[in-house]
Structure 1
Amino acid sequence: MRGHNQSLPERPPENFVLLGVSDRPWLELPLFVVLLVSYVLAMLGNISIILVSQLDPRLSSPMYVFLRHLSFLDLCYTTTTVPQMLVNMGTACKTISFGGCSVQYTVFHWLGCTECVVLAAMALDRYVAICRPLRYTLIMHCALCRRLVALAWLSGLGNSLVQVALTVQLPYCGQRVLNNFFCEVPAMIKLSCADTAANDATLAVLVAFFVLVPLAFILLSYGLIARSVLRIRAPSGRHKALGTCSSHLAVVSLFYLPAIYMYLQPPSRYSQEQGKFVALFYAIITPMLKPFIYTLRNKDVKGALQRLLARTCGLCGRGCPRCGPRQPRRARVRTRESMATQ
């Protein structure tokens, strides 16, 4: 019976314990407030970008199609990790089930790899718009945009499925404590008691491919854009060309710098405490900042938001500072009739 019991496969643990962002209890309340406010702002900002780009016909260019998908990715990013963090901070039992943990790191890696490809597609769109403006509508047509978006989602899903297939089979030998605030593939690999050389190699190769290849493409695109911008003699034209790229460059920096720190530095230099705060930055702070970056640096998005607010104020009958107080219905009818008779 003893030999028979030893030959049975090990069952995965029912749940994991998440240590959270910090081991200092007095930090939990301030972190809870910051995370809750950041989550609400991220949700409102990204939903606003999606609604504006969907409802305003002036924002139908490929750039805003990609921006809509980017905002949807950020919505899913924050929803994948932050609600579980808030629940754990508000309760004494800081656990997550094995199934919930598997779903969390599956979706998280899927979204991360998809965003890498979407950012590269946005760089291609900016390159064609600035360096090939006369052929922009011929090159960046709707079919190409759909293919690029489909490539981003399917490639990210393929990478995530490979990681899940290798990670979900790992034995944990009773170890259930994750020194993190959410489930992630590197943390799960470190927790395993088996030989994880194949998992480490696969993770390194796939992450390097999805991080470095799109990043190299983005840098090449902006190198060609910079060369074209330097040829523009008029300062106003040069400023306009740079203005269309500044918001995208800021988002690329916010996304890639933490990702490179988390996944591509040598393990000997990796600090778990610093890694948790970096992961917190790109899991919640970056999705919160992106809508503000695109809104403040993009005149088209600001104009679309103002038109949407004006339309909303007109429908509710309260008026707004931009369009003035809303007139009564009879006054509007008399105004239309007087204009028709003139």
Structure 2
Amino acid sequence: MISRYLITNIIYFFQFFVMRKKDLETAVVIGDRALGSFLIFRKFIFDFPLPKNKEVEIYGLLFPSPIISASFKSDHQIIEMWLRLGLGGVILKTIMQEKRTGNPRPRLQDAYLNGEKGLINSLGLPGSGINSFTETIKGAKLWEYDRPIGISVGGENSLEYLDNVKKIDSKIHDIKKQYFYELNISCPNTENGQTICQDPIILESLLKDIRSVTDKVISVKVSPDVSNKILQDIGALCANITKVLINAGNTIYVKPGQVGVDKYNYSMNGGGLSGSPLFKRTLEMVHLFSKFNIPVMATGGISSFEHIVAAKSAGASLFGMATSLVFNPYCIPKINSKL
């Protein structure tokens, strides 16, 4: 979007002028606020029709469009805007047990790999914590859209994942709305979260424990960084647990210098790369999981109708978008019009 482009470059100029480090996160926050201020004109600039006869049903969840937002945003006002633009569902930002401020800034920057643009982030899962989340989610306006809402759960260990699901389910189990859980077992921004994705035995035990406390659909968000052998093991075990789908996948770990980011403008030694450079790996994972009798969501590098066609041909039923929504959320109605 031109507005996002202008805001970003104005912020960069100001940061340079006052000799501050380049920080894309500031531009994103200000851009979100600017877009949010236009919600009073939503009928004119945000309301777009959903595609006709393109519903996708997964374990009783009805997605009126197969494109949904991947887990990265917590601002309900912005998520509402995406729903008005035509998303078939959303996955909320991963919630951890305790309140977190995340990693030091700057922790989000534009990135380029092999000529393709993406983002590198090491946000560190900042958030309000599970107690605050459970107090606000039940009355959220997002439920009024009657589209599936994914609640992304993180944890430093298996017990935290299980406790978080229990706390959330105790608050919203009776609201009679469409929702599901997503287990973010692949985020590289937590100390131990990655190990669950790397150990199918631990994952299987966790899934069985969560299935014993909730009957809701469970999405398992896997990492593109793990080996295909581990991914195959994950697919096999997920196929033996009821109402489980696979989200393939998440960011890939890179160092700033690998993607054209000056280390001076990045606080961490590495971070998660998202966007177009991931699409080839996303297709590989979807092909792999298509061999199992479980629904697959393709996430990573999807930004166009052509990407949707390729991922669907590979075996995906849902298509998660994140970086493309940062760059241009109007890709939603554009894709919907071609489905």
If asked which structure has higher relative contact order (CA below 8 Å, sep 6+), I would say 1
Q: TM-score range by the shorter chain?
A: under 0.3
Structure with more helix by fraction: 1
Larger radius of gyration: 1
Structure having the higher strand fraction is 2
Q: TM-score when scaled to structure 2?
A: 0.26
Structure 1 length normalisation: TM-score?
Answer: 0.26
